[in-house]
Structure 1
């Protein structure tokens, strides 16, 4: 079974929009290495296409009434049993699988049709345009789990919104509705859940009316990939250090016992 569903919208004259849907129903579209490998394979395939073959835009969304619950619990739990160097390497490779979306020279619209937590929230911000569901929950919950923010969030949030808002989102780990996120400027629109994909499609069609080569050059000049790569290395090192801490082991126990963790700073 695959973890990424693919659909297309035919625009006529050989043009199309590609829809990629995260689909891991057993764990609320949580992000696993297997899903990441499949995701990167699709992105690599798009990068290898000729200009005529490429879709005019990509929509990234989720199945099962949710975008993504973020990091898979069993994957997180496994890090607590591994050493620092192994975890540092694993996290850097893992986040790069999903952040391959930043390498695309095609506009990417995130139709976050439900909750996007932690790494899932980070993935929405790695896209160019974002539509959130009013009813959705959007949160960077990393520090509440005893780990440094990951999936490039420590850089991407600041890159997009500045240090003031980045500190609020990452340090306080606030849970926001889609309407909250829209008021704060974190997404381009927030609509009822059932309308998210339709609204994203409207944006995709609008983008398809612009020159592909011009949009491709614009994407190259909009984001600083070198700085993101450097941030990922720092995140991987910080998370690897956190994974071997007593606080992270407390996080795992608290989740399994369905209670709040009691951190001691060790």
Structure 2
């Protein structure tokens, strides 16, 4: 595969076929999601889909001792300077880059080797299975930034955890650990962070023994894009409005001034 600015892609060849690992790699901002990273991620997924022989499994993980810190602050700041229509369009596009992982008809395991926040955690929820780090910190912090949850989280969290617990995580923005995730049934496993990727690789090899055609059909049938798409439209519309609010401007000011934001509902 090609070289990427914000990703590293590795392929391991087994007797049964290949296992591909995609690593988020933005060391200057804890693997935060940029527009360019999204384009690269989408390009990798599309390249894998077009291969004559699909990989047997894919692992999504992070470099730099972290999974993903969420949306890049400079990218979020740029949304505050666009119109509602531009934001609505661009948010849908941005979501589609990373959520393309659901269109890859092979098992995808998220190896959360460190903290995952906001949209970064949403990416993990969009994968088929997850291995968490015991000591990792995970949160859908959208409401604490003055914006509606995005990247499919308003659909994915209740889908995986039910409306009660899934809704709680979205409404409060609270932080949970890998051990919490395992106790809730969200994680395939939770292990010390240094063991997360190797554990995910172990599970990927186990899944590679399955019948590929059956797994490809199963992946295609597991999810309803139609239902998720409705949620994405609502998220994009809500976030587009929120990015133009005084509360979001307060978020940006509070980050610059290194203080907690004070939201006034404006």
TM-score by length of structure 2 reads 0.97
Task: Give, in angstroms, the shift of residue 257 of structure 1.
Answer: 0.6
Look up the match of 1:218: 218
Please name the residue that 1:149 is paired with: 149
The equivalent residue for 1:69 is 69
Map 1:14-29 → 2, pairs under 5 A = 15-29=17-31
C-alpha separation in 2, matches of 1:167 and 1:208? 34
* Post-superposition offset of 1:12: 2.3
Match of 2:232 in 1: 232
The corresponding residue for 1:41 is: 43
Cα distance in 1, alignment partners of residues 79 and 252 from structure 2:
10
Is the 8 Å Cα contact of residues 33 and 72 (structure 2) preserved in structure 1?
yes
- Mind listing any 5+ residue stretches in structure 1 that lack a counterpart? none
CA distance in 1, matches of 2:30, 2:22: 16
Distance 1:9 1:46 in 2: 14
1:160-239 superposed matches below 5 A: 160-239=160-239
Find 2:33's aligned residue among 27, 31, 34. 31
- 2:122 — aligned with what? 122
How far apart in 1 are the matches of 2:229 and 2:134?
A: 32
Distance, in Å, in 2 between the alignment partners of 1:16 and 1:93 is: 29
| 3-state DSSP of counterpart to 1:231 | helix
Matched residue, 2:83: 83
Is residue 161–residue 184 contact of structure 2 (8 Å, CA) maintained in 1?
A: no
Tell me, yes or no, if structure 1 residue 140 matches structure 2 residue 143. no
Is the 2:69–2:116 contact (alpha carbons within 8 Å) kept by the matching residues of 1?
Answer: yes
Query: CA–CA distance in 1 between the matches of 2:218 and 2:164?
Result: 26
1:123 Cα offset (Å): 0.4
Corresponding residue of 1:60: 60
Query: TM-score, normalising length from structure 1?
Result: 0.97
Distance between the aligned counterparts of 1:40 and 1:138, measured in 2?
A: 24
Q: Give distance in 2, aligned partners of 1:54 and 1:2.
A: 24
Whether 1:6 aligns to 2:28 is no
Find runs of 4+ consecutive structure 1 residues off by over 2 angstroms: none
C-alpha contact (below 8 Å) 2:31/2:67 kept by paired residues: yes
Aligned residue pairs, count: 263
Q: Which runs of 5+ in 2 are unaligned?
A: none
Deviation (angstroms), 1:209: 0.6
